[in-house]
Amino acid sequence: MKEEKQQEKKKTNKKFLVIFAVLILVGGSYGIYKYMHSLAHEETDDAQVEKNMNPIIPRVSGYVTKVLVKDNDYVKKGDTLFIIDDKDYVVKVEDAKAALAAAEGSYAVSKADVGSASAGVSVSEANVQSAGGNIESAKIRLSRAQNDYDRYKNLYANRSITKQQFEQAEATYLEAKNQVKILQDQQRASAFQKSVSQARNVVSGKQTEVAAANIERAKAALAAAELNESYTIVTAAVDGQVSKINVQPGQLVQPGQSLFYIINNQDVWVVANFKETQLNKMVVGQKATIKVDAYPDTEFEGEVVSFSPATGAKFSLLPPDNATGNFVKTIQRLPVKIALNGKNDADKLKNLRSGMNVEVDVHVK
């Protein structure tokens, strides 16, 4: 009986030793594998899928009249999302058109004034030249009449002619003298009229320039009014899927107000937050393997494309300030962008959603 118990104890000890040896072998093999793996890989589970989230922001204010999309609808670039009441903007467009018509009318009047002033300058110039020619002719007649007057004056003094003949010569002389004075006055008046026409021409030219500028300003105002009217129809800027639509018919929206988002399903990448102690071997271009928690049977391939210029803590709402004296050293994490390359199945990439948790394994060797 005692011998049987001793034999059973020996068998139990042998089984324990075998199991213990197997555990040591398996544990050692796994430890060696993890150690060798760690030399060529850097892993983190602090990572998420990222996509471009395009906010839908109206450019003009107004009351929403119609919403054409629902939560999670797929849209194409240029599709209408919702419409804002455009009555006020139509009135502004009509007002801008009327202002443009008035500016064009003012420009036409100014152009006519310029033409009239230019014609007045030409007429005055012609009158000045004509008066100059008439003055020369009158001076010739005056010179002849003066000579006749001087000669008749001597003859009359000698009693060689009658008093009537002398008076006639004197009258002719005085008439010729007055005619020269009249023509000179007319020339000065024509010259003055010419200067007035030239000044009017300058003023009309300036008025025309102002009218032309008013036309351009009215055109710009019309273009702005038409542009604002077009903004009452809000369209999708990219292809994607809408989400969290916080707008209803009758709601007043304001410029700059973010209403909902379009998730761009074309561009997908991963942001992995690695510890700062893991970055010494990581460089741009290294291959990465991504496992998504939602699809554990699918493995995606990626590539390291960039490193953040600062740790994630620096981008927080209240970044830490180690100058306060309460410093406790903690390992920081740095966001690393990993692009999913074209070797992945496009349909599977579409199934990825922004914010999904993933595990990232970067092959550093």
pLDDT by residue for the chain (365 residues), tens only, comes to 555 655 555 556 666 677 777 777 777 766 765 656 556 688 899 999 999 889 999 999 999 999 999 988 999 999 999 999 999 999 999 998 888 888 777 766 666 555 554 555 555 565 556 655 566 666 666 667 666 666 666 666 666 666 676 667 666 766 766 766 766 666 666 665 656 555 555 555 566 666 677 778 888 888 999 999 999 999 998 899 998 888 999 999 999 888 999 998 878 999 999 999 888 889 999 999 999 988 888 899 999 999 999 888 887 777 777 666 666 777 889 999 999 887 887 778 888 888 999 999 999 87
What is this structure's pTM? 0.63
Which of 242, 271, 275 has its CA nearest to residue 259? Answer: 242
DSSP 56-93: E--SS-EEEEEE---TT-EE-TT-EEEEE--HHHHHHH
149: helix, strand or coil? helix
Helix count and strand count (H, E) for the chain: 4, 12
How many other CB atoms sit within 10 Å of the CB of residue 52? 16
d(CA 63, CA 84): 6
d(CA 335, CA 319): 16
Q: Are 302 and 336 in contact (CB under 8 A)?
A: no
d(CA 73, CA 261): 11
d(CA 186, CA 178): 12
Q: What per-residue string of b and e applies to 148-166 under the rule 16 or more CB within 10 Å gives b?
A: bbeebeeebeeeebeeeeb
d(CA 268, CA 352): 8
Tell me the domains of the chain and their CATH numbers. 42-53+260-363 (2.40.30.170), 88-231 (1.10.287.620)
